Amino acid sequence: MGISDFFLPERLPRQVIYIGDRHAEVFVLQNKKIISRRRVEGTTLAEIAAGRLTEIAGHLQAENTGIVFNAAPFMYNFFEFDKLPWQKKALRELVAWRLQKVFPESIEAYDHRFFQLDKKRVLSVLVKKSLPEKMGQFFEDKQIPLIYVGNSTMVILSRLLRAKAPPDFFIESDVTGCTLVFQKKRSPIYIRKFKSGSIADTVEEISKTVLFVSNNYGIEPSRYWLIEHRDEVADAAMQEKLAAGNFSRLSTNLQGVPFIPGCQ
């Protein structure tokens, strides 16, 4: 199966598995509320990519299921053109042509989706086809319906479109990686992924990136959402160091998990 929709699934799953750097979480939803969540430590993306989901499967029900991966296996590119064609086929060919100019590998091995942001810009998202295909095969073998495979970055971006007070950027932080997504007028303008170090080093990289965006995109990012996937201690430490840099944290609400589709 392919990536059904990077923003939100057509049908909301009854349970959602989130795959982080070194852990997974199983969420069960009812009436758009999370009624249970269970964390499975030590589950790496490499193991998931190899189809080793046995431990997670032990926590699943035979319900419509969704999987949300973090940003690690995905590649993002913004492309700007003088003008975008209105015909879908022509637009698809134009974006593919631009992608081939900057992407060194064969695109045939990747699931490629893109999203038109305005009259000139698109956001391109790539992931290896083998990842969703192995997920589909595993769940088919377990006789658990898999109706959605998505990406936390894009799910969170969809939340920003409806937020009453949207942040200037959001941070997804985990053990080995950090993702920053900046927006202007509720539209993404810059995405950066980098390897996590200490919290101090991560905050230093965030500050450098904010300065870069300020100098190149005509905005002054200061308000942020923080999605910290490690623990409450790391969350508090990150917030404290960001506050020292005059950054203001906004609440995500959404039960604290804006990366899970369907919850309110």
**Rounded to 10 degrees, what is the CA torsion of 135, 170, 122, 194?**
-70
Six-digit token string for 27? 């969420």
Instruction: Compute the chain's Rg from CA coordinates.
Output: 18
- What's the CA gap between 183 and 214, in Å, rounded? 12
- What's the CA gap between 24 and 240, in Å, rounded? 26
Give 159-182 pLDDT, tens digit per residue: 888 888 899 999 999 999 999 999
Give 186-206 pLDDT, tens digit per residue: 899 999 999 998 999 999 999
Which three-class secondary structure state does DSSP give residue 219?
coil
- What's the CA gap between 92 and 18, in Å, rounded? 30
- pLDDT over threshold 90, residue 41: no
The lowest-confidence range among 44-53, 139-148, 249-258 is: 44-53
Provide the 8-state DSSP code for 86. S
**CB 68 within 8 Å of CB 150:** yes
- pLDDT over threshold 50, residue 211: yes
160-to-17, 131, 226, 250, 258 alpha-carbon distances in Å: 22, 27, 13, 12, 9
pLDDT at residue number 246? 95
77-to-126, 175, 195 alpha-carbon distances in Å: 9, 24, 18
pLDDT at residue number 141? 86
* H or E element, residue 68: strand 65-69
Q: Please choose, from the candidates 182, 157, 179, 148, the residue with its C-alpha nearest in 3D space to the C-alpha of residue 15.
A: 148
Q: Please choose, from the candidates 68, 120, 19, 69, the residue with its C-alpha nearest in 3D space to the C-alpha of residue 262.
A: 68
155-to-5, 69, 72, 245 alpha-carbon distances in Å: 9, 10, 15, 28
Out of 98-112, 165-179, 246-260, give the one with best mean pLDDT: 165-179
Which three-class secondary structure state does DSSP give residue 191?
strand
pLDDT at residue number 2? 37
The values of phi and psi at residue 107, to 5°, are -70, -20
